Amino acid sequence: MSVDADIVRRIGHLARIKLKEENLQGLAGELNTILGFVEQLDEVDVSGVEPMTSVIPSTLRVRKDEVTDGGYSDKITSNAPISEDGFFMVPKVVE
């Protein structure tokens, strides 16, 4: 794919970036260089390579999916500046 000034202008519009007309040709050249590097990746044989999500093998921590009743609102609101009956009290902001 070849990028020209019109495509750079469109990319700038989509990205909400104001581009000067005199910079469009230079940016087009830079984008073409980047796309050339990406095309080189197509030449790499990756058959037999497992897809990976991280360089370091890791697994997610798993916990039991248990339903709890809660029932400890006093502990939750203990650090609140003002609380009443297990609810956070906040200043009135709407009149």
- Gap between the Cα atoms of 36 and 2, Å rounded: 9
Q: Own/partner pairs for 83-86, CB < 8 Å, 24+ apart?
A: none
Q: What is the pLDDT of residues 43-77, one digit of tens each?
A: 999 999 888 888 888 888 888 888 877 778 888 88
Check residues 68 and 81 and name the one with the higher pLDDT: 81
Does residue 19 lie within any of the structural domains? yes
Does residue 20 lie within any of the structural domains? yes
Output the average pLDDT for the chain: 89
Half-sphere exposure of residue 41: CA atoms within 13 angstroms, side-chain side: 5
Q: Own/partner pairs for 77-84, CB < 8 Å, 24+ apart?
A: none
Does residue 18 lie within any of the structural domains? yes
Distance of CA 49 to the CA centre of its chain: 26
pLDDT > 90 fraction of the chain, expressed in percent and rounded = 46
Q: Pull the structure tokens for residue 28.
A: 């087009």
- How many structural domains are present in the chain? 1
Does residue 14 lie within any of the structural domains? yes
Does residue 83 lie within any of the structural domains? no
With 0.85 as the threshold, say if the pTM is over it: no
Range of the domain at 32: 5-41
